[in-house]
Chains A and B, each alone.
Chain A
């Protein structure tokens, strides 16, 4: 029997999967992206470099800072300017905060797909507290705040932000313990995700997946350690790696990343240097091509920029981590229909990012 978990379905987001069933076993699961295509890359050719920042941050809406950081790093390399160290540390703080926010969004959607409505409400509530504290106080808006621009950041940190953030992070540690008690140690959750959707180490490298999907299969790959950018080489943190390769280990990777991000933010606030937060840039960018990559919440995000000497870019191409993880849908072959939500959610697929 063939049916499509279509775009208008309470179980999929804006995304279509063509599933062929026989009884209760899935024979074939084919992803069909393209429902939310908004031609961001073409529109970006008609606007100037600074005007593109609100445009491209809306393509990947849950971790906003990583996308603008990749774009800004590419332009700074073409212009040949160097960003002051205070701006580098502030960029690290914003990136880690948006990583926590993206992982909380993932946790909420995972809960509701498994039928656990309490796990849907709690992370959204905590996400609201983090957004209200940081993004609004520092940057001015709540979700899409356009804070990182080529040349540094837009405003300086306000007064009293350090104590505020420390209080919030202490509160957040308590919340993580509650999540552990009610969700990650839940016997039913473990039963549903252990041994489901196993991705072996060689298969993961061959398919080319990135992010927590890769780290859940035993490969130690993280751009923050392999090719450090923006003050990450001065901070001390570890990378969680689990070797089983099933949905449970992928979920645990993301859970531990939230704790590690909190410690990175604390370290960055301790070592924050004084100085400028912005340098002046020119409007005309010299000719050239540049390739820059960052570690977004879902994996590796790369930005390829070709400039022809005018005020507008000639070609902007972004390679998003959800697009790279699409071959992971072949894990669904041979599973039961009830195993489809854990596999789909443990890949952390975000349709807005794939379709751009």
Chain B
């Protein structure tokens, strides 16, 4: 019995290792992985559904920082055909990553699909104020990290991490 256990242990010395040598190697994540958000400013309609559904209240709606423009904004027409609707204020989501639990409910509920989630999860910083991402920061696409991407499954079947 003990000898059987020893042989079983000895077999494992010659198998491939299971460790991913981070940060030289990284694990390849699947498509649906929920990481940092990306916000598409042009398709957002300021409906505030994402802020209402967020469980820890991590999303707040703020105005965009206006860039100084030379041209004047276009004028509103004097007579309108339809009855006047109250114009919605143009606010965009600002996400605080101290509170966000990466549940993805805001992505599911957005009617225009302007919030999506990427694979980026290394968000730590030295200062707490930098963890609050404004809408402009959210619209930048994160770059891919360096390192060799490994995966669990090889082509021939399931094995440990391909090293």
Contact = CB atoms under 8 A, between A and B. Distances in A.
Contacts of A137: 30, 32
Interface residues of A, number: 33
Contacts of A187: 1-2
B158 A140 contact: no
A283 B159 CA distance: 46
Contacts of A146: 103-105
B158 A136 contact: no
Interface in A51-97: 51-52, 54-55
Interface stretch (A5-13, A102-110, A125-133, A202-210): A125-133
B5 A136 contact: no
A50 B152 contact: no
A44 to B, nearest CB: 11
Give the size category of B's interface with A. Answer: 20 to 34
Contacts of B157: 167, 171
Contact of B103 (A54, A136, A158, A171): A54
Interface stretch (A178-186, A231-239, A256-264, A299-307): A178-186
B74 interface: no
A243 interface: no
A154 interface: yes
A125 B18 contact: yes
Contacts of A171: 157-159
A254 B53 CA distance: 39
| Interface SS, B side | loop
Contacts of B104: 140-141, 146
A141 B34 contact: yes
B8 to A, nearest CB: 4
Contacts of A125: 18, 160
A155 interface: yes
Interface in A177-200: 178, 181-182, 185-187
A154 B108 contact: yes
Contacts of B53: 50-51
A118 B6 CA distance: 12
A186 B5 contact: yes
Nearest to A181: B8
Interface in B119-153: 152-153
6 contacts: A51-B105, A136-B29, A136-B30, A154-B108, A167-B157, A170-B158
Interface of B: 1-2, 4-5, 8-9, 18, 27, 29-34, 53-55, 101-105, 108, 152-153, 157-160
Give the 8 A-B CB pairs with smallest separation, nearest first. Answer: A171-B158, A140-B32, A51-B55, A181-B8, A54-B103, A136-B30, A125-B18, A182-B5
Interface of A: 47, 50-52, 54-55, 118, 125, 128-129, 132-133, 136-141, 146, 154-155, 158, 164, 167-168, 170-171, 178, 181-182, 185-187
Given A125-B18, A136-B32, A185-B4, 18 more contacts: A50-B53, A51-B53, A55-B55, A128-B18, A128-B152, A136-B33, A138-B32, A139-B32, A140-B104, A141-B34, A146-B105, A155-B32, A170-B158, A171-B157, A181-B4, A182-B5, A185-B5, A186-B2
